[in-house]
Structure 1
């Protein structure tokens, strides 16, 4: 099934006596763990591509026929294979199922999610529309620790921290940062807080920080993120405050998934930001709190979301002639105000 399911080729699903896909940790009511459910769904899709058979027990959870179920798995298999990156969390898998089967009966979609133990939203209609496909150029992916809303600088930027135990981060931590973190821990155990603070400053100056999360000290790397494809009003502009407040409301206290494509001249990483499967740039555009930054991004879906907000005259589009932030910055540089 290509790269999307390459991790399954070393561990194919078990089959039943009649050749159907085994339940892969399924019980009478589906899987007992949503994380297991992601793996089970991926394995069943891979098995369906080979055998054209849906998993046993699914009919007890849905209302449509076996023929209809085969149609679902054909669609889901294609969607999973084309997703970049493929779903890795229960929320992402749930979103893929819902968007792929959005024209099918609600009872079937809910039943399928239940079968795999995947999260079911209170209202399927409240789920965000699918984000634009990830294009070529993806450099790496970040999974952040919970974001502190107080560190959000404006409506199109966010500061995040990533645990250095992350597989990508662990090999990037400078030796002196590791040493300082260990020595700081020793200093704190000895109640030498002056030394501990000095060592922590060294860690912070290197772009890291020791965070206390749930009474656990975590060495984390700081990333400054610029939301790709949008430009929000500057804080001093009309609707700049509202744009920042909206972004804070979305990310505060939440972990983010960030697909990084570039680094700008200010040292910020430019990426697509997701919060609980919500595509953050979409929310900012549809709320009328950002422009589609066409000078750097040509995705038509972002353009559509901006046009929708313009047509409804919401947010900054309530003004007859709002000033574009890039023009505002240019005028400031040239002292035109």
Structure 2
């Protein structure tokens, strides 16, 4: 029975298993499965669970054991068994419905499972449609100050627990992340650093989420669509970078990605707390409307407003266009 629930939670069931019919599970569900199996053999509660479960530390082992037993019993009766992240969360919520609400919500939060209201099958409002032409949407982790390269480029990280990412994390990255966590717990920092390099070279990185907990995330380089900010070595280059940093630092972003440029960056529109970032950069006078690649009239209007008000770079009588500056630099005439 223990192996059965473990295969369910960790997504390790063989494809030929007609009884379970599972072909993989979300990393958050896999983490729950590993901890459940570990508890069966060690009776140890995960170290950080106390930050999410309100029951006293002394009571947590009993609470976890009772929860495990109920999950095992419920799993035997489940027809069909849960497969998706939402189904797994609903399974936990329904099974533990008589437990203290804060404890159940804390357990879900600890493993990154959806909120119980959504998991319990409550109707949810459909997500707003992507803007026309957008290929996909990203929801980022909080932005670190070092992630802002200049006034029109920012590196963002997306939690691999996100449904868009969860099915595409390379197995070697998952393994390296798990081994790195163990190495850090054992204070073997040399090994942890070596594993960190494997993770980073693959385009991932352990970063803190909004609760300050370290999670595995995928890196995306975002080029702000429709604007061109002064380069770092140009007048107002430093100010443009600081303006963008002020808008996004410490905040989670919504990014609509439209294209990929020749440098491998995602070209997209960025929203922060409902604010359109490109609009603010143009209105503050820290970016040009990049008409060669984007003809949206609202961008031209916002640029004109800053120009009329002589804001930012428009305080200069003849500010140099960044694309012309780059061309001059390539030709050796900058």
TM-score (norm 2): 0.61
Question: What does 1:1-337 correspond to in 2, within 5 Å?
Answer: 84-85=129-130, 134-136=131-133, 138-213=134-209, 214-337=211-334
> How has the CA–CA distance of structure 1 residues 313 and 235 changed in structure 2, closer, same or farther, with 3 Å as cutoff?
same
Instruction: String of CA shifts for 1:142-164, please: whole Å, max 9, x gaps.
Output: 00000012221100011111000
Taking the aligned partners of 1:41 and 1:190, their CA distance within structure 2 comes to 43
Taking the aligned partners of 2:163 and 2:230, their CA distance within structure 1 comes to 36
Deviation, structure 1 residue 211:
1.7
Unaligned runs of 5+ in 1: 1-32, 44-79, 86-133
Taking the aligned partners of 2:142 and 2:237, their CA distance within structure 1 comes to 24
Deviation, structure 1 residue 190:
2.5
Deviation, structure 1 residue 135:
3.0
- Kept in 2, the 8 Å contact 1:141–1:257? The answer is yes
Deviation, structure 1 residue 321:
1.1
Unaligned runs of 5+ in 2: 1-114
Aligned-CA RMSD value: 2.2
State the 4+ residue runs in structure 1 displaced beyond 4 angstroms: 39-43
3-state DSSP of counterpart to 1:153: strand
Deviation, structure 1 residue 177:
0.4
Deviation, structure 1 residue 272:
0.1
> How has the CA–CA distance of structure 1 residues 42 and 176 changed in structure 2, closer, same or farther, with 3 Å as cutoff?
closer
Deviation, structure 1 residue 312:
1.4
Deviation, structure 1 residue 215:
4.9
Range with greater deviation from structure 2 (245-254 or 147-156)? 147-156
Range with greater deviation from structure 2 (174-183 or 278-287)? 174-183
Deviation, structure 1 residue 295:
0.4
3-state DSSP of counterpart to 2:306: helix
Taking the aligned partners of 1:41 and 1:199, their CA distance within structure 2 comes to 40
Deviation, structure 1 residue 188:
2.1
Deviation, structure 1 residue 171:
1.3
Aligned residues: 215
- Kept in 2, the 8 Å contact 1:149–1:249? The answer is no
3-state DSSP of counterpart to 1:187: helix
> How has the CA–CA distance of structure 1 residues 321 and 166 changed in structure 2, closer, same or farther, with 3 Å as cutoff?
same
